[in-house]
Amino acid sequence: MSYDVDAVRREQFAWAADGETIYLNNASTGPLPQRTVDALAEWGRLRANPDRISHDRQFGELTQARERIADLIGATPSEIALATNTSFGLNLAAFSLPLQEGDVVVSPDGEFPANVYPWMQLGRQRGIEHRLLRCDGGVLQADQLSEILNDDRVRVLALSWVQFSTGARADLRALGALCRERGVYFVVDAIQGLGPLMLDLRDVHVDILSCGAQKWLLSPWGTGFTYVRRELIDVLEPHDVSWMGVRGADDFSRLVDYDLTWRRDARRFEFVTLPFQDFAAMNASLELLEEIGPAEASAHACRLADVLVDWALSREEVELVTPCASEQRAAIVSIRPRDATRTSERLRQANVAHSVREGAIRLSPHWYNTPDEIERALEAFAG
Ligand SMILES: Cc1ncc(COP(=O)(O)O)c(C=O)c1O
């Protein structure tokens, strides 16, 4: 059964229910539910005097965060390293995977720079080539990848699940299966996919998946995670070394008995100290998502995206940049009008939060938006 979107809005997003903004810009930054705002305030109050926060409560929030994320993506908590952004995990992949001079990393072109610059830097330092692929309609298809992998030097495929400006979605299952078959590492930036889309990593092969929580997971800036596939954890050595990445680190009474033996789980990669208050707030957001149901939330966001797509296809004066097939997109819909500047201005005047990307208007609804908001946004779009 679906949740009552109006009731959740009144409770958790009162500003949206009151019509302050039609917020269709989740692909930039997600809003914080009221319970998340409350959690931040409570942690601020406690943090004024750190003695109010027990060690167990402080570290318990991180344990809970790993568990909630693992539940959401079909992983185990031991495969989750908490991180403060998406870039962390992409750098982890670039600088920790066992690559050598002459190896090739491939990505579709048009990737968000977070998934380009670490690989370019790797090239500069170690002579590893980062090759950008031109993909039909912006989506890398399995048969194109299959051909590319005939070159034995290709060792890594690194891509965004959902492309940030076009909203094109990669088929992780098909690409992951091919990578596994051909012994190629599969690295995924999931930030524009997770939330509007569901993921079960028991079914989908990914080696390293990185995701900031500040967009579609409606969590504070400075929260996120990196998943590292169980079998890889033992093989990868952290590139950035944290004092809590080692096995003895939980015993604060023996910190100077130095022993550089990595933890057995993905915590070996966590770069401590983490912002406890922000992860406590992320837990509040994830708890809300669990209550309304991740599948229901995903279906709702995708339904709203469908309305935008259908509208764009019905209008001659605009071009739909996002693929129209529903399995090739998520909840980002980019529409190119004749004059993006004027359209953007009209949307602004109607309090419709959106982005302009590559000459197109990017609209990105989520599970707390309503069909009525979409209708009003499209009226403003049309002028
Ligand atoms: C595909 C993609 N990756 C990464 C990011 C952000 O990376 P980070 O969380 O490291 O700031 C964005 C958006 O800002 C994005 O759209």
- Which atom of ligand 1 has the smallest separation from the CA of 163? 1
Ligand 1 pocket test, pick from 86, 209, 214 with the greatest ligand atom count within 8 Å of Cβ, gives 86
SS3 231: helix
- Which atom of ligand 1 has the smallest separation from the CA of 160? 1
Spatial separation of the C-alpha atoms in residues 122 and 107, rounded to whole Å: 14
Q: Which fold has domain 5-31+293-382?
A: Aspartate Aminotransferase, domain 1 (3.90.1150)
SS3 39: helix
State in Å: Cα 330 to ligand 1 middle.
16
| CA-based torsion, 361, 367, 368, 372: positive or negative | positive
List per-residue pLDDT tens for the chain, 383 residues long: 589 999 999 999 999 999 999 999 999 999 999 999 999 999 999 999 999 999 999 999 999 999 999 999 999 999 999 999 999 999 999 999 999 999 999 999 999 999 999 999 999 999 999 999 999 777 899 999 999 999 999 999 999 999 999 999 999 999 999 999 999 999 999 999 999 999 999 999 999 999 999 999 999 999 999 999 999 999 999 999 999 999 999 999 999 999 999 999 999 999 999 999 999 999 999 999 999 999 999 999 999 999 999 999 999 999 999 999 999 999 999 999 999 999 999 999 999 999 999 899 999 999 999 999 999 999 999 99
Spatial separation of the C-alpha atoms in residues 1 and 372, rounded to whole Å: 21
Match domain 45-289 to its CATH number in 3.40.50.720, 3.40.50.300, 3.30.2350.10, 3.40.640.10. Answer: 3.40.640.10
Spatial separation of the C-alpha atoms in residues 59 and 82, rounded to whole Å: 12
Spatial separation of the C-alpha atoms in residues 297 and 203, rounded to whole Å: 21
Strand stretches in 19-128, DSSP E: 22-23, 80-82, 104-108
Distance of CA 66 to the CA centre of its chain: 15
Same fold, 5-31+293-382 and 45-289: no
State in Å: Cα 138 to ligand 1 middle.
18
Spatial separation of the C-alpha atoms in residues 169 and 212, rounded to whole Å: 17
> CA distances (Å), 271 to each of 32, 247, 351, in order?
25, 14, 39
Spatial separation of the C-alpha atoms in residues 246 and 33, rounded to whole Å: 35
Residue ranges covered by each domain of the chain: 5-31+293-382, 45-289
Spatial separation of the C-alpha atoms in residues 109 and 134, rounded to whole Å: 6
At 254, give phi and psi (nearest 5°): -135, 40
Residue with the smallest CA separation from ligand 1 atom 14 is 28
Around ligand 1, the residues with Cβ closer than 6 Å are: 85-87, 112, 114, 160, 164, 189, 191-192, 212
Spatial separation of the C-alpha atoms in residues 140 and 154, rounded to whole Å: 15
The answer to whether 104 and 128 are in contact (CB under 8 A) is yes
At 288, list the tokens: 């809300």
- Which atom of ligand 1 has the smallest separation from the CA of 162? 1
State in Å: Cα 69 to ligand 1 middle.
18
- Which atom of ligand 1 has the smallest separation from the CA of 85? 9
Spatial separation of the C-alpha atoms in residues 332 and 28, rounded to whole Å: 10
At 294, list the tokens: 């991740």
Ligand 1 pocket test, pick from 189, 211, 278 with the greatest ligand atom count within 8 Å of Cβ, gives 189
State in Å: Cα 278 to ligand 1 middle.
18
State in Å: Cα 215 to ligand 1 middle.
9
Phi/psi zone of residue 183: left (φ > 0), alpha (ψ -120 to 50 degrees), beta? left
State in Å: Cα 112 to ligand 1 middle.
7
Residue with the smallest CA separation from ligand 1 atom 16 is 164
